[in-house]
Amino acid sequence: MSKTGSKEERDLVNMLWDVGFAAMRAPASGGATKRPLPDVLAGNGELYLAIEVKSSRLEHIYIDNEKITNLKEFSKIFGSKSYIGAKFIRKPWRFIKLEDLHITPSNNYRVNQELAFTKGIDFDEMIEESKQTKLL
């Protein structure tokens, strides 16, 4: 993983701690294990989040199909809500539900800034939406 990706993960973990979640970077993400682990895992005893973090200086972020499959599998087993945390440099965080991702012709996934800022939600919205979904 690039230094930028690690920095973004650490920043997100700190943001989650600041709003009352215990949060951590999954040290085995990025190929150190065959297990389907997210980049960031967070919970507050009632709500659990599994987030695959992607950052870019470019207009698009590409995500391998395997990453999404693994995130879905982990979230199903763990009982967490799953998001792609997209951080375009010099732009605010956006969190995209997996069903809103664009599927490429090669059956991978793409998030561009337009999708991130039209269908994605900001950090506060993700926390609030996740709480509302948990209440239903």
Residue 51 CA to residue 126 CA, distance in Å, equals: 11
Evaluate whether 28 touches 61 at the Cβ level (below 8 Å).
no
**Amino acid 2: pLDDT:** 45
What are residue 102's DSSP bridge partners?
A: 110
**Amino acid 97: pLDDT:** 96
The conformation of residue 122, written as its DSSP 8-state character, comes to -
Count of alpha carbons within 13 Å of 133, Cβ hemisphere only?
A: 14
Residue tagged active-site, from 29, 75, 80, 130: 29
Q: Residue ranges of the domains in the chain?
A: 3-135
107 Rama sector, left if φ>0, alpha if ψ -120 to 50, beta otherwise: left
* Unique residue bearing structure tokens 């997209």: 86
Active site residue 80: no
Per-residue pLDDT of the chain (136 residues; tens, 9 = 90+): 344 578 999 999 999 999 999 999 986 555 556 788 999 999 999 899 999 999 999 999 999 999 999 999 999 999 999 999 999 999 999 999 999 999 999 999 999 999 999 999 999 999 987 666 655 5
The CATH class for the domain spanning 3-135 reads alpha beta
**Amino acid 3: pLDDT:** 47
Residue 84 CA to residue 97 CA, distance in Å, equals: 7
Provide the whole-model pTM: 0.88
**Amino acid 1: pLDDT:** 39
